[in-house]
Every structure is written in structure tokens, then in C-alpha cells.
Amino acid sequence: MYKHKIYKCIGLVSISLAIASCKIPAFVQSVENKSVPESYTNSKDTANMATLEWKSFFTDPKLVNLIDTAIKRNQELMITLQEVQIAKNDIKFKQGALLPTVTGKLGIGVEKVGRYTSQGAGDASTDITPGKETPDPLMDYTAAVSANWEVDIWKKLRNSKKAAINRYLSSVEGKNFVLTNLISEVANSYYELLALDNQLEIVKQNIQLQKNALEIVKIQKEATRVTELAVQKFKAEVLNSQSMEFEILQKIKESENKINFLLGRFPQEIPRDKGNFLNLVPAAVHTGIPSQLLANRPDIKQAELELAAAKLDVKVAKAEFYPSLDISAAFGFQAFNPTYLVKSPESMLYSLAGDLAGPLINRNGIKAEFKNANLRQLQAMYNYEKTILNGYLEVSTQLSNIDNLEKGYRLKSEQVDALNKSIEISNDLFKSARADYLEVLMTQRDALESKLELIETKRNQLNAVINIYQELGGGWK
């Protein structure tokens, strides 16, 4: 028996050496490119608005309350938090593989063998105690503890655990990314709602102005200074503005429901200050330097951690080509009668074994998984580089947008002032019969459109600052 064990060990060692000499497919070690330009413009100022907590960045208390509610109740964020917990539990699962597996066993059985068999003949000629034959059928009672342990000689299990840790940290960054998007979406929707409130007020004022003009035209028609055509044209303009009022009311309802959805609640009125929207001043923009994106943006950090996990997956897949060492042991008591279970050493059982085994032939499945792990590593690297590039371009585009919106807002403000004056002038000229009614209508229409566009430009300004705060990596702290 001892020779058999020795030969078995020699055979396993020989197999292991043969396995170790087998050629393992080569893989490409990815080296990611983390380089970014030194600055967005020519400024090297490191002051970065992304370091501000969102409660400090947003100064409107009603908006702060809405965001706070969204963070507590938004379903998408809650789903992401469950994913974080799942990833955390996966670490415990991987940790368990590093430790021995211990199981307990309590068993009872019965066995009846043929009399004319080697075992039956042996049992018949064997006395359990002097003068007491072996029972037939033979009962079997067992109480034992067994353990199995895979020795992590190639760091396969440890690398698998490290990959799980990186994926857990990646899920945390994914949660932070969802959080920044949520805060940004609530804030953008809030300012869209304020803009619609102010547009609605302007349309109502314009309707009143048009009704007054309609009354004047009716009087002039009675004085035969204008025709019925002028009256109908002014009336049509009033009806058009009234129709626009209901369109804006519908948009207000949609915006309110969008915010309520983000807050995880059923429709209700959104508390807000419906004051002069045009007096709101966007926050000052401080972008810092592009290299800060690597530390501030959750999506970039998430991609970096996914890349680290993918690299570890390659090492785990590579270790599958090597032999694994498994150690098993058992200890307990076994007897045909419960009263004999406590008799030692007669009823005692124990075992200890070590197995070194690995793949020899038909390794196509392991090779395929190794190649796939290598390809997933390359995918993760390209995704990481793409995320960095996308982050820089988003900030660069938003900076240009902020600059152009500021210039456009100044020009639009001057246009509104000019058209307000032109309304007064056109009305005076119309009353004195020095301008026809079409000029008055066109002037009123142009003034209304320019006022609505001015509010839209202001909303875009506020949204652009919110977006660049998010794109710089702000909002999750």
C-alpha cells in the first residue's frame, strides 16, 4: 500500500512537470494612455469647482430640498446601491474560496451483502467480540467532520478576490456617476420649470397687450380708418398667443412630473420662486486642469478600476493552465451500533490526502477563456482611454458653449430692448395713420419671440454651468 502511495506521488509530480512544460498562449499586456492636454485654454489655475459639495454649489434652498429628496428616494439610484451591495458580497464569496471548506456529517445506513461473496464470507467468519458474529444485515452509523482546501500556489484565488474588490470599488464609482447625473438632471429640470413660468407670464402680458390693440383696431374700423381684415388679423394674433399659453402650461406640467419622477413620488406641485428669472446669475466657472479629471470624474475612475479587474482576470485565466493542489482530511467515528461509536480507537476513522492535478490534453476550453480574458482586458483599456477623451471633450465643448451663450445673451438683451421701444413707436405711428396694422403685428410678434428666446438663453446659461460642474466631476461628494 505504501508503495502504491509513493508511485502515485511520483506520477503526480511527473504530470505536474509535464504540465508546467506545456506552452501557454501568449497575451498582450495592455498599457493604457492616461495623457491629457495641460489645460483647457491657456490657464494653469488649479482651482476646481468640482471640489465643491453640491449643497454649497446650489444656493437656492428649494432646489437643495428637491435634490436631497431625490437622493433619498430616486429608484434608479436605489437600484445602483443594490448593485454595490451585490459586488460587496462577491468579495466575501471570493474570500471564502481561499479558506478550507469544513462540513459535518451524521449518517445512518444498512447493508446486506450476499453470503457467497468475499465480503459476505469474511463477515460470516469474523466475530465482533468473542462468540458474537457480525450482524447481518449490517447497520452503519457515522459521525464525522471533513475538510477540503485548495492551496493557492499560483495566486489564482487571491487575484480573483482582488478583481472582485476592484469591481466593488468600480460599482461605488458607478453609483457616484449615477448620483452626479441625478443631481444635474434635477437642477436642469428645476431651471427649465422656472424658465417656463416666466415665459408663461410674458405670454399673458402679451395677450393683454394684443387685446388692447384689438380694441383700438375695432374703434378705428368703426371710424373707417381700417378694414375688417385688420380686425381679424389682430384677433387671430390674440388667439395664437392664447394657444401658446396652453402649450406652455402643458410643458410646465410635464416638467413638474419629470421632477416628481426623479424624486420617486407621485405628481404634486413643485415649490419654487417664480420671480424674475432673468436676474439669476450663473455661478462662476473654475475648471482647474485636465489631469484633475482622472481623480474627480466617477466614470473615469470606474473605467480605471474595471481595467484593473480585467488585468487580474487574465492572471486568473493563466493560472488555470497550472496544476492545482487540493488537500482533504476527515475525522470521525463509524460503527454498526450506536453504542460502539464512543469506543476508541476501534470506531475511529480519519484520512488525509493531497492531490496535485492539472490539465494535460484537450485544453481548448481553458485556452479560449484565457484569450477571451485577454480580449476583455483590451476592451477595458480602450474604454478607459475613450472615457478620458470623452470627459476632456465634454468640458472643452461646455466651456465654448458658456462663452458663446454669454455673448449671445448680451446681444439678445439689446434686441429685446430695441423691440420694446419699437412696439411703442409702431403703436404711436399706427394711431396717427403713419404705419399700417401689419407693421404693428409683426413688431409685437418679433418682440414676443425675442423675449421668449432671451429666457431660453438664460436657461441654457444656467444649465451649461450645471453641466460643466457635473462634467468636471462635481456633485457626488
Q: Which helix (H) or strand (E) holds 141?
A: strand 138-151
pLDDT value, residue 19: 46
pTM: 0.87
Enter the C-alpha cell of residue 278: 432673468
Q: How would residue 22 be classed by pLDDT, with cut points 50, 70 and 90?
A: low
| Exposure class string for 72-92: b at 16+ Cβ within 10 A, else e | eebeebeebeeebeebbebbe
> Contact, 137 vs 317, CB < 8 A?
no
Query: Residue 133's pLDDT is what?
Result: 73
User: Residue 43: its pLDDT value, please?
Assistant: 82
3-state secondary structure of 388: helix
The reported pLDDT for the residue numbered 4 is 41
Mean model confidence pLDDT for the chain: 89
Residue 171 corresponds to which amino acid? S
pLDDT of residue 115: 78
Give the separation between CA 142 and CA 189, rounded to whole angstroms.
Answer: 69
Per-residue pLDDT at 14 exceeds 60? no
Start-to-end C-alpha separation, the chain: 67
Note the pLDDT tens digit of each residue in 188-213: 999 999 999 999 999 999 999 889 88
Residues 81-118 pLDDT 10s: 999 999 999 999 999 999 999 999 999 988 888 777 87
pLDDT tens-place string over residues 112-152: 887 778 777 777 777 677 767 777 787 888 999 999 999 99
- Of 68, 246, 83, the closest CA to residue 167 belongs to 83
Cell numbers for 346, please give them.
Answer: 476501534
CB 390 within 8 A of CB 399: no
Report which of 476, 474, 446 is spatially closest to residue 80, judged by C-alpha positions.
476
- How many Å separate Cα 395 from the centre of its chain? 20
Each residue of 339-357: pLDDT tens digit?
A: 888 788 888 999 999 998 8
Give the span between the Cα atoms of 68 and 76, in whole angstroms: 15
- Per residue, what are the HEC states of 236-284? HHHHHHHHHHHHHHHHHHHHHHHHHHHCCCCCCCCCCCCCCHHHCCCCC
Residues in a beta bridge with 335:
141
Distance of CA 30 to the CA centre of its chain: 25
Check residue 38 and report its DSSP letter: S
* Per-residue pLDDT band at 305 (split at 50, 70, 90): very high
DSSP state of 393: H
Q: What percent of the chain has pLDDT over 70?
A: 94
User: Residue 12: which pLDDT band, with cuts at 50, 70 and 90?
Assistant: very low
Task: Let me know: does 355 contact 11? Beta carbons within 8 Å.
Answer: no
